[in-house]
């Protein structure tokens, strides 16, 4: 699976949009981009995934560049409960493990 | 209603002991996993089972032995516990779906402390 690069930490004011970038320049055509997050002391939680097109669900939006070498997770109106470590993961096969990197520690401040 | 549950939540034990951690999922998934999160917060896969068969076995000491009595359960037995085994162990499960979606659902974790 392709390697990903994320900034180690970011801050965001409550109510503002949080934009979390991820670089995956070695991504292959059949690899998906997944985002998970881990709130302190809890198990990781799925957020969203995509292949080529931008995706949106009730939690977030995922913007994937046309060349697919990078993506951005957008939390449109961050709340204090969104403070967590966010992991960008690229993977090919289903049924296989997630390769968690170091992720981005997002701190949402009042 | 808990989707993926683990017991115990906390486990404190002495070096050299043998202990087990249990995991159960009520989602009807056919794949289950064990991950280990160390003190530096790195989360790494240990094992994966699909329909009770081992499909992933990372470089984990053979003191760790997973056991899957049925699709809904994946237990982790650890022999001769060492200080370095102290970590948080997460169980997860998943089911392949169309469109490449395969959400993994994680349990709350078991915090193991070896003294």
- The tens digit of pLDDT for each residue in B32-86 reads 999 999 988 889 999 888 877 887 777 788 999 999 999 899 999 999 999 999 9
Q: What is the pLDDT of residue B50?
A: 83
Task: Choose from B104, B105, B110, B111 for mutation: most chain A CBs within 10 A.
Answer: B104
- With CB atoms and an 8 Å threshold, state whether A94 touches B106: no
Q: How far is CA A70 from the centre of its chain?
A: 11
Range in A4-13, B30-39, B87-96, B97-106 with the lowest mean pLDDT: B97-106
Question: In the numeric block, which tokens belong to residue B63?
Answer: 């003191």
Q: How far is CA B45 from the centre of its chain?
A: 9
CA dist., res. A63 & res. A13, Å (int): 21
pLDDT band at A1 (very low <50, low <70, confident <90, very high): low
Instruction: Please judge whether A97 and B33 are an interchain contact, meaning their C-beta atoms are less than 8 angstroms apart.
Output: yes
CB-CB under 8 Å, A100 with B96: no
> Which chain A residues touch B108 with a CB distance below 8 Å?
42-43
Alpha-carbon span B15 to B36, nearest angstrom: 18
In tens, the pLDDT along A40-54 reads 989 999 999 999 989
Q: Which residues in chain B are contacts of A98 at CB distance < 8 A? A: 45, 104
Polymer length of chain B: 115
pLDDT of residue B99: 59
């Amino acid at each position: 699976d392709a390697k990903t690069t994320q900034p180690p930490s970011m801050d965001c004011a409550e109510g503002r949009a949080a934009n979390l970038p991820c670089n995956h320049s070695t991504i292959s055509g059949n690899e998906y981009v997944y985002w998970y997050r881990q709130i302190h002391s809890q198990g990781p939680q799925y957020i969203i995934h995509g292949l080529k097109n931008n995706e949106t669900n009730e939690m977030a939006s995922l913007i994937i560049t046309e060349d697919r070498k990078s993506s951005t997770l957008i939390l449109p109106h961050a709340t204090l409960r969104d403070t967590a470590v966010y992991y960008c993961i690229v993977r090919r096969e289903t049924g296989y493990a997630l390769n968690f990197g170091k992720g981005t520690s997002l701190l949402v401040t009042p | 209603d808990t989707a993926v549950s683990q017991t115990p939540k906390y486990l404190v034990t002495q070096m050299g002991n043998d202990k087990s951690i249990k995991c159960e999922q009520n989602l009807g998934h056919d794949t289950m996993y064990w991950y280990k999160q160390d003190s530096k917060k790195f989360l790494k896969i240990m094992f994966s089972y699909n329909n009770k068969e081992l499909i992933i076995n990372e470089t984990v000491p053979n003191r760790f032995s997973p056991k899957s009595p049925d699709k809904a359960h994946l237990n982790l037995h650890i022999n001769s516990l060492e200080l370095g085994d102290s970590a948080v162990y997460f169980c997860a499960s998943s089911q392949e779906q169309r469109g490449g979606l395969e959400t993994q659902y994680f349990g709350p974790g078991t915090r193991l402390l070896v003294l």
